[in-house]
Structure 1
Amino acid sequence: MKVSSIGMASLILPGCMGASKLPAKDTLAKKPNIIFIMADDMGYGDLGCYNKNSKIPTPNMDAMAAGGIRFTDAHSPSAVCTPTRYGVLTGRYCWRSRLKRGVLNGYSPALIDTQRMTVASLLKEQGYATACIGKWHLGLGSDKKTDFSKRLTPGPNDLGFDYFYGIPASLDMTPYCYVENDRVVDEPTLTIEAGKANEDGWWRKGAIAPGFKHIEVLPHLTKKAVDYIGGHVRKSPDKPFFMYFPLPAPHCPIAPADFVRGRSKAGGYGDYVFEVDWTVGQVVKALQRNGLADNTLIIVTSDNGCPGRTKIDRAHSSIVKLYGHNPSGALRGIKADVWDGGHREPFIARWPGKIPAGTVSDELVCLTDLMATCAAIVGAKLPDDAGEDSYNILPVLFDQERSEPIREAVVHHSSSGVFCIRQGKWKLILGRGSGGFSKPKVIKPKPGEPEGQLYNMEEDLAESKNLWSEHPGIVERLTNLLEKYKQQGYSRPI
C-alpha cells in the first residue's frame, strides 16, 4: 500500500495545514461533524485531481484533495445507485437484501428494514443531529406502489434521520416532487411529457408537482444543505451533526443551471459536473462561515461510474465521441459494468488537524466502510448484525503505520447481478462480458475458453489481459472466498 503526501500549499483550503500523523486520543473527545456528499453518476476521470486530461474544471474538489486525502482505489459496492445507497447507509452489501439486481423506481416501497442499524441511527444514538438532504432512491412507504398523497413511512425518519428533504429517486424518474420528512411538499398532480434530446436532457413522462423544474433541483438542494448547517449552529451549537448529502447530479437529465453553462469543455454533462463542484464549494464555505471547518470530516465521492451520456446524445459513452472527454479516465467500462469504470470512485476526505494535507492513498476501500469508520470516530462498537461489510478506515485517513491492508477483500456487483471479488492486485469476475451497459454484456464461453475473468490490477488497470486460464489456483482461492462471504452473511471480522 502506498501513501504519499504532496506539496500543494497554494491550493489548500484554509485550516488544512499542520495535520499530525497520529492524533492523540483526546483530540477525538469533541465529536466532529460528519458530512458525506455523494454525487450521482460522476466518473473517476471527471475530476482534475484524478485526470490531468479532464475537460471539466473542478477547483473545489481539487482543493479538498490538496487539503486532505485522495484515494485512488476506492469502490462503490455496486455499479448502480440504489444498491450503493443501501450499502453506504447500512454498511452491508445490497445483494444480501431483497434487491439482487437493478434499482428501485420512484414508487417502490422502502428497501431498508427499520430494525436495521444505519449510519444515521448509530450517530443519533451517540448524540448527533442527523439529516439527509438530496436524492433518496431507497423506497418510501410500505405499499407495493407508493401513494404520495399519504404519509411516506417507513422512510428516512424511520432510519435514524431527524430531518429529510429531497426527491424520491433519480431526477429522471417519476414522480417529480420534493419530500420533506414524511410528506410531499406539493403533490405531483400534473403530468409532464418526456424530456427531449438537446432540449431537456432526458427524463421520463409522468407525474410532476406544480412549479417543479429539473434545472432548479441541484441549486435548491444545495441551498437546503447550506441552510441546514447555519440553522444547526444557531439552534444547537454544541451538538455535532451528520449530514448525508446525496446529489441528483450529474445523472440524467443533464440539466446544468444557467450560471454554469459553458464552464467546461465537455458539453452539458461537463457543465453539470462543474455545478456539482460548485455545490461542494458552497458546503465548504458554509462550514467556514459558521466556524465549523476545523471540526468537520467532509467526504466527497460518487455512487457509481458514469454512463458517458450527453445532453445531445443519450447513447452510452457518447461524450467521448463528441467532446473527447472520458469520464472513466484510464479505466475500462462505464456505469453498471463489473469492470472498474463501473464502480471505482473518486473519494476525497478532509478533516483539518487529523488528515494530513495532500495525501494520496492506494488503499483498497469501499463506500460501505462509512459505518465502521463513523463507529470508530465516536468510540462505538458495532453489533454483529450491523455493518456486516464495513471496515474502519481511520488508520488510512490518519496516515498511521500499517503492516496489513485494512480490508481482506472487496466484493463488486454489476447492474445485472454479476459478482466480482478484488483482493490485493487480483480481481476475479464470475462471468464473461461487462454485466452492465457496455457491450458485450454477456459472453458465453466456447469449449476450452475461460468461464470468467481474472486481472492483475497492478499491471493491467485497463483489464485487457484475462489471466483466468494462467492462474487456476488464484481463481479457486478467490471463488472460495467470495462463496464464504455469501454463505456466512458478512465479510468483516466478527
Structure 2
Amino acid sequence: MNKVIDVLVSAFRLKNRAQISVALLATGLCASALLFFSMKQSPVASKPNIVYILADDLGYGDLSVYNPQGKIKTPNLDRLAAQGMRFTDAHSPSSVCTPTRYGLMTGRYPWRSRLPVGVLRGYSRSLIEQDRLTVPAMLKKAGYQTGMVGKWHLGVDWVSVPEQKNLEKEPLYGITNEMNPEHIDFYKAPTNGPTTLGFDYTFFLPASLDMPPYCYLENDRLTEKPTAYTPGNSLSSGYTGPFWREGNMAPSFDFFQVLPTFIQKATDFLRRQSSQKPFFLYLALAAPHTPWMPTENYRGKSAAGEYGDFVQMVDAQVGRVLHTLDSLGLAENTLVFFTSDNGPFWRPAFTQQFGHAAAGNLRGMKGDAYEGGHRVPFIVRWPGKVKPGSVSEASTTLTNLLATCAEVVNQAFPATMVEDSYSILPVLLGKSQTVPQQPAIVHSASNGYFAIRKGPWKLIAGLGSGGFTEPQKIKPVAGGPTAQLFNLANDPAETRDLFAMHPEKVQELTALLKTIQESKTQIKSQP
C-alpha cells in the first residue's frame, strides 16, 4: 500500500502528461496486484464457514456452564461458551426429535409438515418436501460446500421390492405408517435423502440409535446392507440405559463406535475443505440419546451414571471437532453453533438417585410442553464478531437458523416458504437484545400440545405436560381452566399457573397463536 501512495504522490508532481499517464497506469497495476493478493490470501473473508452441531436429548442442565451444581463436567463446551455467546432462553420448536430437525432444516414450525405430531422411524419415507427450501440448499446457492454427518431422522425413500411397487403410490406410506422392512430392496440405493435437499456429502444413520435399521449411508447409499439381526437390548429398562429395539442391522455395526465414527467422518470432511470455498457442516450427533453407551475410557468418569458418562464423552468428541478447526487454521473464519434437539429423557427418579438435574431448574423433560422439554443449551462462537464470554437472554428457536445464515451470507429467501425463521445475527453482533421482527416463539409437545411464548408470558394450550411427565393430559372440568399460563420472568420453574388471574393474556396469546398457525408467510412483531 505504501508503494501505491508513493506512486500517486510522484504522479501529481510530474508536469508531462505522458509521464502522468504512465504513473497512473503504474498506480492502477499496483492497486490491482494488491487487490489480487488480498483476494488470494483471504478468498472467503466475507462468507464464514458454518458448523452446526446438534446433540440428541441433551438437557439444559447437562452442561456445567449452565448448571455448575450438576454432576457432569463439560470442559470443552464450557470453553466454547467462554469463547462466544451463551443463550439462556433458546428453544427447540418441538420436544422430540424429528419435528425439531424438520424445523431446523426448513425454517418452518414442524406442525406445518406432513407429520404434525410424532416422530419418524428408520423405515419412514422422506418428510421434507422436495421443492422445499432448506438451509443447505440456500447455502449451496451462495457458493458453499455442504456436508451432513450423523443422525438424519427425516426419512429416506427406501426402494420397494418389485412385488410391492404398488405401495409407492401412497405418498404417506412410511410417514404415518412405517414401511415393512421385508418390502424393501436393500440392494438398491434409497432416494430423496439429504443429498437431494442440498448436501454435497452425507454420512448418516437413518433414525435414532435405538431404532432399526442399524446401518450407515454415505452419500445416500448403504455402506453395508442390514442383513444381520439384533433381538434388541435392555428392552425392559423403560427406554433408558443401553436400550435399543430389535431389528435389522449391518453385520459389522457397533453401537459403541457410532459417536466416534461420526466425529471421524466430520473431521475428515473438514480436512477435505479447500480455502477457495466456504463450507457448511451439519453434525447431528446421536448422543446422549439411548442407548447410553460410553466407551470404556469414559465409564465411571461422571457422577451421574452411564448417562453422565455418555454426556462427558459427547463433550470430549465435540472437543475433537473444535481442535480440528484450530489445527487446520479454520477456527478464525468459522461460525460454530452448538445446541440440542430437545430436552433430556431424565426421569425424576434419576435426579433423586444421582443428584443431577438434567433439565436444570426447569420443569419437565423430553416430550413435554414444559420448559424442560424444549429449552436447550445454545452456544455460538464467531471470532471477531461475537463477543467472547457474552450471555444473551434473547428468546430464540432453532427454526431461526435459515434466516440467520441467509443474513450472514446476504442471501434472500421467500417468506412464503420459510414462515417461521428470523435472523438472530443482530443479537450475535451485540446490536439487539431481542430477535428483530420475531412475533413470538411456538413449541409443540409430543402429544401435539402447543405452547406459545411472548416476552415473559407462556401459554400452554392444554392441561398436563403434553409429553412424558405424568400426567400427560388432564381433561378440563366445567368452568375450570382449559390451558396453562406462566410468567417465566418470575417463575421459570412453572410452579404457579396464572390462567385464572390474567384472562387478557390468555386471550392475547391464544389469538396470536392462531394467527401464526393460519399464516402462510412470516408474521412480523409489532414495534
1:288 matched to 2:304? The reply is no
SS in structure 1 at match of 2:149: strand
Counterpart CA distance in 2 for 1:386 and 1:375 is 14
- Partner in structure 1 of residue 46 of structure 2: 30
State the structure with bigger RCO (CA 8 A, min sep 6), 1 or 2.
1
AA partner of residue 352 (structure 1): P
Cα distance change, pair 28–237 in 1 and its aligned pair in 2 (3 A): closer
Compute the displacement of 1:281 (Å): 0.5
Per-residue CA deviation, residues 123-163 of structure 1 (Å, 9 max, x unaligned), is 00000000000000000016532733322110100000001
Counterpart CA distance in 2 for 1:406 and 1:47 is 30
Quick one: which of 96, 107, 119 aligns to 1:103?
119
Gaps of 5+ in 2: 1-41, 159-167, 174-178
Counterpart CA distance in 1 for 2:337 and 2:297 is 25
Quick one: which of 176, 199, 209 aligns to 2:250?
209
- Partner in structure 2 of residue 76 of structure 1: 92
1:160 matched to 2:198? The reply is yes
RMSD: 1.8
Match runs of 1:180-329 below 5 Å: 180-196=218-234, 201-232=242-273, 236-308=274-346, 316-329=347-360
Cα distance change, pair 413–323 in 1 and its aligned pair in 2 (3 A): same
- Partner in structure 2 of residue 6 of structure 1: none
Counterpart CA distance in 1 for 2:247 and 2:384 is 49
State the structure with more CA Rg.
2
Contact 1:363 1:405 (8 Å CA) reproduced: no
State TM-score, norm by structure 2.
0.85
Percent sequence identity over aligned pairs:
50
- Partner in structure 1 of residue 14 of structure 2: none
Contact 1:391 1:492 (8 Å CA) reproduced: no
Compute the displacement of 1:319 (Å): 2.1
Match runs of 1:270-419 below 5 Å: 270-308=308-346, 316-401=347-432, 407-419=438-450
State TM-score, norm by structure 1.
0.90
Match runs of 1:100-139 below 5 Å: 100-139=116-155
AA partner of residue 377 (structure 1): V
Contact 1:28 1:377 (8 Å CA) reproduced: no
Choose 26-35 or 157-166, whichever is displaced more. 26-35
Counterpart CA distance in 2 for 1:318 and 1:217 is 28
Counterpart CA distance in 1 for 2:407 and 2:66 is 28
AA partner of residue 249 (structure 1): A
AA partner of residue 314 (structure 2): V
Runs of 4+ residues deviating >3 angstroms: 26-29, 197-200, 401-406, 490-494
Counterpart CA distance in 2 for 1:324 and 1:360 is 26
Contact 1:336 1:342 (8 Å CA) reproduced: yes
- Partner in structure 2 of residue 438 of structure 1: 469
- Partner in structure 2 of residue 311 of structure 1: none
Contact 2:44 2:275 (8 Å CA) reproduced: no
AA partner of residue 391 (structure 1): Y
Counterpart CA distance in 2 for 1:319 and 1:31 is 45
- Partner in structure 2 of residue 312 of structure 1: none
Compute the displacement of 1:405 (Å): 5.3
AA partner of residue 404 (structure 2): T
Compute the displacement of 1:257 (Å): 1.3
SS in structure 2 at match of 1:300: strand
AA partner of residue 487 (structure 2): N
Cα distance change, pair 404–276 in 1 and its aligned pair in 2 (3 A): closer
Counterpart CA distance in 1 for 2:446 and 2:244 is 20
Quick one: which of 455, 461, 473 aligns to 2:486?
455
Counterpart CA distance in 2 for 1:56 and 1:271 is 8
Compute the displacement of 1:317 (Å): 3.5
SS in structure 2 at match of 1:60: helix
Counterpart CA distance in 1 for 2:99 and 2:442 is 13
**Count of aligned pairs:** 459
